[in-house]
Structure 1
Amino acid sequence: MKARTLKKDKVNIITLGCSKNMVDSEVFSGQLQANGIESVHENRKLDHNIVVVNTCGFIDKAKEESVNTILQQVDLKRSGKLDKVYVTGCLSERYRNDLMNEIPEVDAWFGTMELPLMMKQFNADYRAELIGERMLATPKHYAYLKISEGCNRTCSFCAIPLMRGQHVSKTIEEVVAEAKRLVNMGVREIMLIAQELTYYGLDIYKKRALSELLKHLSDVPGLTWIRLHYAYPHKFPLEILDVMRERDNICNYLDMPLQHISDNMLTAMKRQITRKDITELLANVRDRVPGICIRTTLITGFPGETRDDVEDLKNFLEEERLDRVGIFTYSHEENTSAYGLVDNISAEEKEERAQEIMEVQQEISLEKNQEKVGKVFKVIIDKKEAGRYLARTEFDSVEVDNEVVIESKKALPIGDFVNVRITKAFDYDLEGEVVA
């Protein structure tokens, strides 16, 4: 009689939400691999038998997407196509008890900081010596690098501290060691992420230490681009701009979520800053790093927002002409201080306001792109699609910003840097040709 063979487990990790979640999934995947367990990210072959859904619980749309994804995986389990479904991440951290009752088919639920417990489900050891080692879910030429966890801010709309806890910085040595490992894996560009980059170091060094961290990172051989995401404007450490200006491999790019600009909204959101402070900060940033690209995120539809507040935002964008703008509609989140306010603006009105604001930014983006026509920029080649290459300048981050479309008969290796002359400009993208 033929002996029965047991098929080894294969784990598919589905990541929802932000880049910080992606890093968590990559770390989890690295731990599985170190224990001899095969893992994949977003597996389309459907040849896995276990799924781990890393959820987002930030706003209503993200929560809905997370729940729908869990239900899809549970359906696959019911039909015999999966053995196990596990759930982790922010939604699980925040609503675990409710979800356990509503979706009992899930085999286990884990919070945001329970990787050692999750490993036990696989009869595997959590190996602390592997901290910082990951299996990348991104293309190998770029990666996200998380420099801290959690947040000490008390913005009235935000539930992230409820899901991620208080701010905890990694040491400079840990971050640099992780950057070196990434470079050895082929990474050329790292995007520094945290809930708040500019708070970095206060907990362990008793001072804001992002500028010192940047100096050490920029000395890592082979690291061509370093990009800064999520800088809080209140008490912004201006010295990081001096390092940015002095170091060639730190991109002239700053992602600084402002959320709003009218003083009554900033006060209601507990942002600890005024419109005057913001305009002075932006002027200072541009003065210290001429030509810097500034990206921001805004919220519209916050309780009490008036038409005048919306006009303030539109006027602000026209005056400041920021390079990149993303916008969220307000989501009424339990256990935030804003939850006590009346969410009296309809979903339709919130969307209309967001559209109105983005139409202003669309014009600005087109005008700024048109100014680039005829100029030469260094770009990184991200991928090839439909016979054309898609690339980015130092002023563009992955997925959220502009792309440069290149047609080239000569092969352009993914992850390489080339010089491109811009030939056409559109609202949010550019076309260019390679120059020697």
Structure 2
Amino acid sequence: MKRSLQKQLSLILGSTIVFTGLAAAVASFALGYSEAKELQDHMLRQIAKLDAGSPVARRVPEVPPQAARQVRIKESESRITIIHLPGNARPAWLGADLRSGFHTLPTDAGLLRVFIQDTPSGERTVVTQPTEARDEIAVNSALYTLIPLLLLVPLLTALLVRIVRRELAPIARLSRSLDQQPADRPQAIDDDGLPAEITPFVHAINRLLERVNHLLGQQRRFIADAAHELRSPLTALSVQAENLAHARSLEAVRDRVLPLQAGIERARQLTEQLLSLARTQAGTGGGPAVQISSIAREVIAELLPFAEARGIDLGLDEIAPSTVRGAPETLRLILKNALENALKYTPEGGEVTLRLLSEGQSAVIEVVDDGPGIPAAERERVFDSFYRLPGAGGEGSGLGLTIAREAASRLGGVVSLHDRPDGRGLLFRYRQDRQQ
């Protein structure tokens, strides 16, 4: 089960409030109880002082012992008793050797809190109060401070849950907004009214949606271009098949089979390039360390029969061996398409060289030919899908350089076209940071 951020925040913060509230309540109760006890002791002391200074108290010693009686304050919640010695009879629980001050003494009726005050004349005033009554008063006083705090804890918890739900509501609105986006044309999310903590996340989503839109646009253009480019060779194949069906002799069949085979081969090559372009656009960078020279030799061995058939001198010039990081198939696509493009447009008897070198921290691959070259104004357009130079010969489909650039971008490299510095022709260059 997925963890709910709202429940987690509510639980953590709510528990913090509850435990903090309980701790505060216990502390408040303890302080209130202690202060109530101190107040009661202070009250006993004040009663003793007031009683000792009153005329009645000064006349108490003159009362005969047999007629002496204890003075009681008839208050049900206090139950305070004042004893004057030697005027009143000494209770059994009151020892004669007790010093002045506060004492807690056991009696038959329970514990008593006793305050004893001696005067310079030898009189003694004893003020008592049952601890049961004192505890009851102290507890009631402490509860008066405790109850509001206890009532505040659930109120704060409910308020906290409501605040968390309200503050996380923009995330729910954001999810609904994303669900309502069209799958084929997602739009950027508006960040108005969103918390500052969520805004970077929304910006990251918007950047992702922008890349998705770009990829979808590429796919739509690719599908449209592929459909357009496949229509012509398939139509030609259909016409050639019909012509073959109307052949009246074996020689006519043989003559018409050759163009049909050539058309099938062109369609096969175009389909293979379309699939390579689609795989390259959908691929990712990264991969193991790859020796460029080993892949270069494999590609040259694969294309050597085609070069020999046209009398082209295809060679490898390894100036500095290098290693790059990436998928070997992607690097192979770059080399193969660059070499195929050079071989197609180099005239018979020409020369194509694959050169491997190193410049600083970069590995460089160059394909040099002595063909017609490409005008500087057209060197960016030839990387567009299915674009071919006006009047260009050969049987290319306009995808070779497009595939090379797409593969280079996946590996983090850069492809470019330049004039051949030592004469007529074109120089294809691929640069990528090399691995030591």
Q: Which range, TM-score by smaller chain?
A: under 0.3
Give the structure with the higher percent helix.
2
